[in-house]
Amino acid sequence: MKLNNALDKRALMYSAALTWLDSPMPGVARRMLEREGGEMASRATTLVRYEAGSSFSAHSHDLGEEFMVLEGVFSDESGDYGEGMYVRNPPGSSHRPFTRKGCEIFVKLRQFSPDDSNVVRVDTQTSAWLPTAIEGQWVMPLYRRDGSDPEYVSLLKWSPGVQLKGHDHQGGEEVFVLKGSFGDEQGLYPQGTWLRNPAGSSHQPYSPNGCVLYIKTGHLPQQRQEL
- Do 137 and 51 reside in the same domain of the chain? no
User: For the segment 43-89, what is each residue's pLDDT rounded down to a tens digit?
Assistant: 999 999 999 999 988 889 899 999 999 999 999 999 999 999 999 99
**With 70 as the cut, is the pLDDT of residue 227 above it?**
no
Cα dihedral angle (176, 177, 183, 184), rounded to 10 degrees? Answer: -20
Mean residue pLDDT of the chain comes to 94
**With 80 as the cut, is the pLDDT of residue 40 above it?**
no
pLDDT band at residue 38 using 50, 70 and 90 as cut-offs: confident
> How many angstroms separate the CA atoms of 137 and 179, rounded?
14
**With 70 as the cut, is the pLDDT of residue 37 above it?**
yes
The boundaries of the domain holding residue 82 are 2-9+16-123
User: For the segment 79-121, what is each residue's pLDDT rounded down to a tens digit?
Assistant: 999 999 999 999 999 999 999 999 999 999 999 999 999 999 9
Measured between alpha carbons, how far is residue 35 from residues 38, 43, 175 in Å? 9, 6, 16
Percent of the chain having pLDDT more than 70?
A: 97
**With 80 as the cut, is the pLDDT of residue 127 above it?**
yes
Total tally of structural domains belonging to the chain: 2
| Of 123, 147, 177, the domain-final residue | 123
**With 60 as the cut, is the pLDDT of residue 29 above it?**
yes
- The answer to whether residue 223 sits within a structural domain is no
- Do 34 and 112 reside in the same domain of the chain? yes
> How many angstroms separate the CA atoms of 124 and 110, rounded?
23
Q: Around 107, how many Cα atoms within 13 Å sit in the side-chain half-sphere? A: 25
- Do 21 and 117 reside in the same domain of the chain? yes
Higher pLDDT, 39 or 141: 141
- Do 136 and 112 reside in the same domain of the chain? no
- Do 199 and 141 reside in the same domain of the chain? yes
71: β partners: 104
CATH of the domain at 151: 2.60.120.10
Q: Using CB atoms within 10 A of its CB, is residue 172 exposed (0-12), middle (13-18) or buried (19+)?
A: buried
pLDDT, mean of residues 5-34: 96
**With 80 as the cut, is the pLDDT of residue 226 above it?**
no
pLDDT at 112: 92
Q: Which amino acid is at 5?
A: N
pLDDT band at residue 223 using 50, 70 and 90 as cut-offs: low
